[in-house]
């Protein structure tokens, strides 16, 4: 199978925050890989803007090192790296002052698509939008890309949306959630809507429950100061897990376009029941053998911020009423593993003696690592001696099915940045969607802030706090292993 690359229109991409971590680790390496894939027009340019004093040469050296650090060695090619670096321009810019704006405006080419990537702290999103307007740098075709976090509650998301709406049309605003750019997440839509097999079963009549897990093995690392103000609810649940949940639960859109897909996702969020107090568990990792606890790593010894959250979400609509969705995410857990597991109901009646072994099928979509799809099936154990049943996986790892090279998936940012240039918003969040997600999580956060309850402790390298087991046990279910 040969990957198809559809070239995009000529563009000037301005990365505001061009010296930051995201630019270095993700945005520029992704752009380099798109150059290698032949998708970037020859004249397309990248303008990095930031506060630091970098000469053009210093910036190129800085990015050369970033490519060395963050692009796999087999994808690095000296000549291509140099050609890529030639596309870069660095501008010293004061996001809230006057320095650099004139130069930025003069550096943009007429006729090219202009995209501004706000790869900066959230407090600068609104001022940046306003500056772009004030300096008349934008036109009809301008696009802005806004990173997460998009607000920290409903009120702040609404006020950010209001500022952006004063400066841009909704179809110019690209709110990024990098989970939507992951190949396997897009595959979830292909699995559901390009195969006739599953959709008739995709409802509460046949599905017992769904488990969505995004487990990380690393702790908060160097991001303690940011993370401690967010916690797992704001950092992961309100956005990444919510998106996975929406794509799993939504009705088939009539067509695969931005308006239809986002309308369907919004309906899912609006059909969510409020979370009951007993249907949620917050956790925080305690110290490991090196004494590294969450509280140490976050730099806040009295922190009550959660590094783990698990909850049970119920949807009040025809398709899903009675089928709970259990969502969990956490840091410093046993493994890095993300999956969506659709647990089908047990067969209604067994004709076999060995019936205690009859279990419902489980369809698992593995997002990372080892991307693939797995369906657990019950078969007869081989050999004589009666009808003994056993469970086996019908396993499709993308690496096996597509070959190692094809399965070497593009990074989420590669796809998403090219979609910005194309003007395709299907894999970006709409303003009302973000607000609806906050409207659902806000009362939960407020309730626990009011109660002052401390998160349950869990051991680094474990499956999370014991209390989270109870969340499923009380419903007669159990979490899947984090392997
Ligand atoms: C980010 C969160 O959005 O996603 C991080 O801020 C988290 O805390 C990361 O580690 C996980 O992304 P991925 O692609 O590594 O699963």
Q: What is the Cα–Cα distance from 221 to 204, expressed in whole angstroms? A: 40
Residues 135, 178, 240, 473: which is the catalytic one?
240
372 Cα to the center of ligand 1, angstroms: 20
**5 found inside a domain:** no
Please check whether residue 470 is in contact with residue 283, taking contact to mean a CB–CB distance below 8 angstroms: no
Rg of the chain in Å (alpha carbons): 24
Task: Please report whether residue 337 resides in a domain.
Answer: yes
| The ligand 1 atom nearest the CA atom of 218 | 10
In-domain check, residue 86? yes
What residue owns the CA closest to ligand 1's atom 8?
A: 235
Distance from Cα 87 to the centre of ligand 1, integer Å: 29
Residues 126 and 253 in one domain: no
Atom of ligand 1 nearest to the CA of 227: 8
Residue 388 lies in a domain: yes
Please tell me whether residues 189 and 264 are part of one structural domain.
Answer: yes
User: Do 231 and 371 belong to one domain?
Assistant: yes
Whether residue 175 contacts residue 427, with contact meaning beta carbons closer than 8 Å, is answered with: no
* Co-location of 196 and 136 in the same domain: no
Q: Which of 96, 116, 93, 148 is nearest to 46 (CA)?
A: 116
The reply to whether 185 and 291 lie within a common domain is yes
Domain extent at residue 400? 180-410+430-473
pLDDT digits (tens, 9 = 90+) for 260-277: 999 999 999 999 999 988
421 found inside a domain: no
Dihedral in degrees, nearest 10, Cα atoms 242, 248, 251, 253: 90
Is 178 part of the annotated catalytic residue set? no
For residue 469, the CA-to-ligand 1 centroid distance in Å is: 24
Q: How far apart are CA 325 and CA 313, in angstroms?
A: 5
- pLDDT tens for residues 12-60? 999 999 999 999 999 999 999 999 999 999 999 999 999 999 999 999 9
- Domain endpoint, select from 125, 147, 169: 147
Which of 147, 184, 216 for mutating ligand 1's site (highest number of atoms within 8 Å of CB)? 216
- Ligand 1 within 6 A of 216 CB? yes
Give the confidence band of 330 by pLDDT, cuts at 50, 70, 90: very high
Q: What is the DSSP letter of 122?
A: G
Ligand 1 atom nearest to CA at 239 = 3
Q: How many helices (H) and strands (E) does the chain have?
A: 17, 15
Give dist(CA 144, CA 440) in Å, integer.
Answer: 26
Q: Which of 240, 244, 331 to mutate to test the pocket of ligand 1 (most atoms within 8 A of CB)?
A: 240
Domain identity same for 332 and 236 = yes
- Find out whether the beta carbon of 235 lies less than 6 Å from any atom of ligand 1: yes
How many domains does the chain contain in total? 2
Residue 163 placed within a domain: no
Kindly give the number of the ligand 1 atom that is closest to the alpha carbon of 368: 16
Per-residue pLDDT tens over the stretch 150-202: 999 999 999 999 999 999 999 999 999 999 999 889 899 999 999 999 999 99
Which residue lies with its CA nearest to atom 9 of ligand 1?
Answer: 236
Decide: helix, strand or coil at residue 277: helix
- pLDDT attached to residue 406: 56
At residue 353 the predicted structure's pLDDT band, cuts being 50, 70 and 90, is confident
Answer whether residue 422 is part of any domain. Answer: no
Are 377 and 447 in a shared domain? yes
Task: Note whether 57 and 185 are same-domain residues.
Answer: no
Residues 340 and 223 in one domain: yes
Q: Which of 95, 128, 147 corresponds to the end of one domain?
A: 147
Q: 60-116, pLDDT tens digit by residue?
A: 999 999 999 999 998 899 999 999 999 999 999 999 999 999 999 999 999 999 999
Out of 235, 338, 411, mutate this one to test ligand 1's pocket (max ligand atoms within 8 Å of CB): namely 235
361 closest CA partner among 394, 383, 333, 409: 394
Closest ligand 1 atom, CA of 182? 14
CATH number of the domain within which 25 lies: 3.40.50.720
Question: Is residue 480 domain-resident?
Answer: no
Residue nearest to atom 2 of ligand 1 (CA): 235
pTM for this prediction? 0.94
Contact assessment for residue 133 and residue 30, using Cβ atoms and an 8 Å cutoff = no
Chain-centroid distance of CA 60 in Å reads 29
Evaluate: CB of 147 within 6 angstroms of ligand 1. Answer: no
């Amino acid at each position: 199978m040969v990957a198809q690359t559809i070239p995009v229109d000529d563009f000037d991409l301005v990365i505001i925050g061009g010296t930051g971590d995201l630019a270095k680790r993700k945005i520029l390496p992704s752009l380099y890989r798109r150059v290698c894939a032949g998708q970037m027009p020859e004249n397309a340019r990248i303008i990095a803007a930031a506060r630091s004093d970098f000469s053009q040469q210093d910036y190129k050296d800085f990015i050369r090192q970033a490519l060395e650090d963050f692009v796999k060695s087999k994808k690095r090619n000296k000549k291509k790296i140099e050609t890529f670096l030639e596309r870069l321009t660095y501008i010293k810019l004061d996001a809230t002052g006057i320095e650099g704006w004139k130069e930025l405006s003069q550096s943009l080419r007429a006729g090219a698509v202009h995209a501004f990537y706000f790869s900066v702290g959230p407090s600068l999103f609104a001022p940046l939008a306003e500056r772009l307007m004030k300096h008349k740098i934008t036109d009809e075709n301008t696009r802005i890309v806004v990173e997460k976090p998009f607000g920290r509650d409903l009120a702040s998301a609404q006020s950010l949306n209001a500022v952006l709406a004063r400066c841009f049309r909704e179809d110019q605003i690209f709110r990024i959630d990098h989970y939507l750019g992951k190949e396997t997440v897009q595959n979830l839509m292909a699995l559901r809507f390009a195969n006739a097999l599953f959709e008739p079963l995709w409802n509460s009549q046949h599905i017992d429950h769904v488990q969505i897990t995004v487990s990380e093995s690393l702790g908060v690392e160097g991001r303690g100061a940011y993370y401690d103000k967010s916690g797992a609810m704001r950092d992961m649940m309100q956005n990444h897990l919510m998106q996975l949940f929406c794509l799993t639960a939504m009705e088939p859109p009539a067509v695969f376009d931005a308006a239809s897909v986002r309308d369907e996702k919004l309906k899912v969020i609006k059909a969510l029941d409020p979370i009951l107090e007993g249907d949620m568990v917050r956790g925080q990792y305690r110290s490991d053998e090196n004494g590294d606890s969450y509280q140490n790593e976050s730099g806040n010894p009295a922190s009550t911020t959660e590094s783990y959250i698990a909850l049970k979400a119920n949807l009040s609509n025809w398709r899903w009423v009675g089928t709970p969705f259990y969502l969990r995410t956490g840091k410093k857990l046993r493994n890095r593993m993300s999956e969506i597991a659709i647990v089908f109901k047990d067969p209604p009646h067994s004709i076999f003696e060995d019936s205690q072994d009859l279990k419902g099928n489980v369809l698992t979509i593995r997002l990372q690592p080892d991307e693939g799809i797995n369906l657990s099936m019950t078969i007869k154990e081989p050999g004589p001696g009666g009808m003994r049943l056993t469970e086996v996986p019908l396993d499709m790892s993308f690496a096996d099915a597509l070959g190692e090279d094809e399965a070497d998936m593009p990074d989420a940012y590669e796809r998403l940045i090219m979609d910005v240039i194309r003007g395709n918003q299907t894999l970006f969040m709409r303003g009302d969607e973000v607000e609806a997600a906050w409207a659902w999580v806000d009362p939960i956060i407020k309730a626990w802030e009011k109660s002052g309850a401390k998160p349950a402790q869990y051991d680094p390298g474990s499956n999370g706090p014991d209390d989270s087991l109870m969340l499923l046990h009380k419903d007669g279910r159990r979490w899947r292993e984090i392997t």
